[in-house]
Structure 1
Amino acid sequence: MATLLHIDSSVFPAAGSASRAVAETFRKAWEEQHPEGTVIYRDLATDPVPHLTADAHTAGFADPSAHTPEQAAVFAERLKLIEELEAADAVLIGAPMYNFTIPSTLKAWLDNVILVGRTAGDSPSVKGTPVTVVASRGGSYAPGTPREGYEYVQNYLSAVLGDMLGLEADFIVPELTMAPQVPAMAELVPLFESSRERAHQDATVKAKTLAERLAA
């Protein structure tokens, strides 16, 4: 039975969040293919993980037998997150763009699970695990657009998830999500609607394709 690790980080509920809505479409399609499977779910907006501290960071490079009580306590929490990631057959991450980059809660999760010598380094323990990222954004930062140079979500996550953790990263990008709320973007509403529809279709197709691949 396959295990999906599902991470949400939007501060908005599903009704007001493109990343949550598209991730939910992916998850439903996944669960249809894996009715007996397991979904590990973390909502980083309602239940954030601790930001990395000096003790949590230094504990990752020290022999556990030499940990101080403080290091041992915080490192145990890091290990829970790392083991969840290692147990996953696939990962789903909702990563909305806030101020050109990812939410700080998602960055905190990444800082906790990235451990050189285990999940990162020469032989990452999670290497090859497929991860689907729903990278929603209020405007358009696609190649050729005026704000292309401000795209720090896909670029950053490609480097961290792919290069550091060795994960097989794939992206779904619903964009122009602010068009219905911003009068100056009113003429872009049809493009937003097309992007939203395409994102949900992609989520369904990618979830089913991935589920079939893992079951083979």
Structure 2
Amino acid sequence: MATLLHIDSSLNGEQSVSRAVTASFRKTWEEQHPEGTVIYRDLSAAPLPHLTAEAHTAGFVAPEDRTPEQRAAFAIREELLGELESVDAVLIGAPMYNWSIPSTLKTWLDNIVLVGRTAGGAESVAGKPITVVTSRGGSYAPGTPNEGRDYIEPYLQFVLGEQLKADVHFIVPELTLAPVTPSMAALVDKAHASRAQAHEDAEARAKALVTQLAA
């Protein structure tokens, strides 16, 4: 039985496009794999603690040599690392906030990137499929005024794909602000099309992963 780690980071609740698309993925996953397990983390509702000096340095000290402060600080990192390593697939909602990922998601990354374990030659999650839904209010596609200003997909591909050696797949609903921004009224149809395509892609990706993991 496969286990999915589902992480949302949008602060927009029911209005969130990234949450809606990750929900489509999860619904399809559960329909295709009813005997499986889903671990859910809502980083907006339950933010993780920022990485501290003790939690950072503890990652490079043998467990038996850690100070009481280091052991206490590393406990949440150990929980998150073990959780990531134990699951079969990961789903991440990563909306664009000010041209980057939400700080809550960056905190999760700070906790789970550990040289000697998940990165830096060890890569304990190498090959693990990670699906990222990265929504954005405008368009950053080639030929648009914002081309080259997408700092989410390149960053997450580098961290998750190159450093952790995970198998990263992106789903990108764009123009999410068009329906609520008068100056973007001409782009509403494209926004709806992009969102619909993202839901289709999420459902197809979930089905493909269930089949892949069952093989």
Instruction: Give me the TM-score of the superposition, normalised by structure 2.
Output: 0.98
Does the CA contact (< 8 Å) of 2:17 and 2:135 recur in 1?
yes
Cα distance in 2 for residues equivalent to 1:202 and 1:100: 23
Superposed CA RMSD: 0.7
Q: Post-superposition shift, 1:143?
A: 2.0
The equivalent of 1:156 in structure 2 is 155
Cα distance in 2 for residues equivalent to 1:148 and 1:52: 32
The equivalent of 1:111 in structure 2 is 110
Does the CA contact (< 8 Å) of 2:115 and 2:122 recur in 1?
no
- The list of structure 1 runs, each at least 4 consecutive aligned residues, that deviate by more than 6 angstroms after superposition, is none
The equivalent of 2:63 in structure 1 is 64
The equivalent of 1:137 in structure 2 is 136
The equivalent of 2:28 in structure 1 is 29
SS class of match (1:65) = helix
Matched to 2:12, the amino acid is F
Does the CA contact (< 8 Å) of 2:118 and 2:164 recur in 1?
yes
Matched to 1:9, the amino acid is S
Cα distance in 2 for residues equivalent to 1:28 and 1:214: 17
Matched to 1:137, the amino acid is R
Gaps of at least 5 residues in structure 2 are none
Cα distance in 2 for residues equivalent to 1:124 and 1:83: 13
TM-superposition CA deviations, 1:1-29 (whole Å, max 9, x none) = 0000000000011x200000000000000
Q: Post-superposition shift, 1:200?
A: 0.3
The equivalent of 1:180 in structure 2 is 179
Q: Post-superposition shift, 1:68?
A: 1.3
SS class of match (2:46) = coil
The equivalent of 1:12 in structure 2 is 12
Matched to 1:70, the amino acid is E
The equivalent of 1:78 in structure 2 is 77
SS class of match (1:133) = strand
Gaps of at least 5 residues in structure 1 are none
Cα distance in 2 for residues equivalent to 1:145 and 1:169: 25
SS class of match (1:150) = coil
- The percentage of aligned residue pairs carrying the same residue is 65
TM-superposition CA deviations, 1:27-55 (whole Å, max 9, x none) = 00001111010101000000011111111
SS class of match (2:143) = coil
Matched to 2:44, the amino acid is A
The equivalent of 2:124 in structure 1 is 125
Matched to 2:202, the amino acid is A
Q: Post-superposition shift, 1:181?
A: 1.0
Q: Post-superposition shift, 1:144?
A: 2.1
TM-superposition CA deviations, 1:108-146 (whole Å, max 9, x none) = 000000111111111300000000000000000112211
Matched to 2:60, the amino acid is F
Cα distance in 2 for residues equivalent to 1:209 and 1:132: 12
